[in-house]
Amino acid sequence: MNYVVFDLEWNQSNTGVSSRVEGLPFEIIEIGAIKVNADGTLDAEFNELIRPQVYREMHRITGKIVHLTMEELKHSRTFPEVATRFEMWCGTAPFLYCTWGTLDVMELQRNRKYYDMMPLTEKPMPYLDVQKLFALTYDANEPRKRRALQDAVDYLQIEKHVPFHRAFSDAYYTAKVLQEIMQVNPKVLSKVSYDVYYPPTSRETEVKHQFDTYFKYISRTFPGKHELLNDKEVSSSKCYLCNRNLKKRVRWYTTNNRNYVCLAYCEVHGFLKGKIRVNKTAEGEVFAVKTTRLVDEETAMEVEKKWEKLQASKNKDEDSVIPETPENMDLQE
Ligand SMILES: [Zn+2]
């Protein structure tokens, strides 16, 4: 697999959230990218400034961090032009986008949509979050740690010869970090992330991805939460190792109306914990991101205990947070 490591700089309204333009809270003002071949060598470079069309003043903090002035952007191409050139530069051969963190793919999609450009894909976009891969590789005891790019560069003692916080230099440093990871921990490259700016709209575009220790499912969109949680596939608890539908020990429950948890048991493989995060689209529809993973008995007991506690609080206070659990959710399938 080849990689396109990219980074964006964006600007926003300088006069507060209330003067944000609908559909474009952040306007991309620079795209920087570098190609990394499957063998880890750095290849072609892309580096372009963008002439803003929406926010004509530089946000005071953005300007300071990015070291850019409106004057410098004035003679650049517009976003649709630069985004098209970037797309052409990426080419048609298969590749995977790589970014530092989780925001850039989404922001690229949103800016394209604002200008009525075609989505990069009309379904979840797989990409590598190098910030996540870094933590999985070098902060194994804190795998959810989110280091700043500069911190990671220092950690790996990568030579710093260009300033941070410009799109190309950040893409370059991200590529250097990726290069290191490819050397020391190549198997972590299988841990793709999915950007869900465009969630699945049909069964065909749903995501079903078996990772080494868990299974991820991104459902198509539904008109509302009730329909979503009543869907058989969304609510099922399947053992991802033997593919059997399991009877639940603890039905789906929630303590915050957004994240749901369930517990099932496979006679061959043991306890399975399911998690659903309910996501809302800009149009008000909902879709589920579900993960199921085998867990040890201790974790299983924690799930059970939380559920019991929730049940107990229900008896005391009828208005307490109790899931609107659909009838079918604890049926054996
Ligand atoms: Zn099983």
Select from 165, 194, 223 the last residue of a domain.
194
Strands (E), the chain: 2-11, 27-36, 42-49, 95-99, 125-129, 193-195, 207-210, 215-218, 248-254, 259-266, 270-280, 286-294
pTM of this prediction? 0.89
Check residue 283 and report its DSSP letter. Answer: T
Reading across the β-sheet that carries 27-36, which strands appear in turn?
42-49, 27-36, 2-11, 95-99, 125-129, 193-195
Q: Give the count of domains, the chain.
A: 2
**29 and 173 share a domain?**
yes
Q: Are residues 121 and 236 in the same domain?
A: no
The Cα 82–Cα 76 span in angstroms is 9
CA of 240 to the centre of ligand 1 (A): 7
CA of 303 to the centre of ligand 1 (A): 19
- What secondary structure does DSSP assign to 122-139, as a single string? SSPEEEEEHHHHHHHHH-
User: Residue 187 C-alpha to ligand 1 middle, in angstroms?
Assistant: 24
pLDDT of residue 93: 92
Residue with tokens 């947070």: 321
Which of 162, 177, 194 finishes a domain?
A: 194
Per-residue model confidence (pLDDT) at position 316: 52
What does the pLDDT read at residue 67? 81
pLDDT for the residue 315: 59
**In this structure, what DSSP letter does residue 10 have?**
E
Tens of pLDDT, residue by residue, the chain (333 residues): 899 999 999 999 888 888 889 999 999 999 999 999 999 999 999 999 999 999 988 888 887 788 888 898 999 999 999 999 999 999 999 999 999 999 999 999 999 999 999 999 999 999 999 999 999 999 988 888 899 999 999 999 999 988 888 999 999 999 999 999 999 999 999 999 999 999 999 999 999 999 999 999 999 999 999 999 999 999 999 999 999 999 899 999 998 889 999 999 999 999 999 999 999 998 899 999 999 999 999 999 999 999 999 888 865 544 433 344 444 343 333
What pLDDT score was predicted for residue 318?
44
Cα(265) to centroid of ligand 1, in Å?
Answer: 8
Instruction: Please state, in angstroms and rounded to a whole number, the distance separating the CA atoms of residues 314 and 181.
Output: 49
Q: Does 250 lie in the same domain as 164?
A: no
Instruction: Check whether residue 119 and residue 247 sit in a common domain.
Output: no
Comparing C-alpha atoms, which of 307, 308, 237 is closest to residue 272? Answer: 237
Q: Which domain holds residue 51?
A: 2-194
Ligand 1 centroid to Cα of residue 241, in Å, is 5
For residue 63, give the CATH number of its domain: 3.30.420.10
Residue with tokens 């979503």: 228
Find the 273 Cα to ligand 1 centroid distance in Å. Answer: 12
Q: 194, 212, 230: which is the final residue of a domain? A: 194
- Ligand 1 center to 39 CA (angstroms): 37
Q: Decide the pairing of beta strands 259-266 and 270-280.
A: antiparallel
Residues 174 and 298 in one domain: no
Rounded distance from Cα 248 to ligand 1 centre (Å): 13
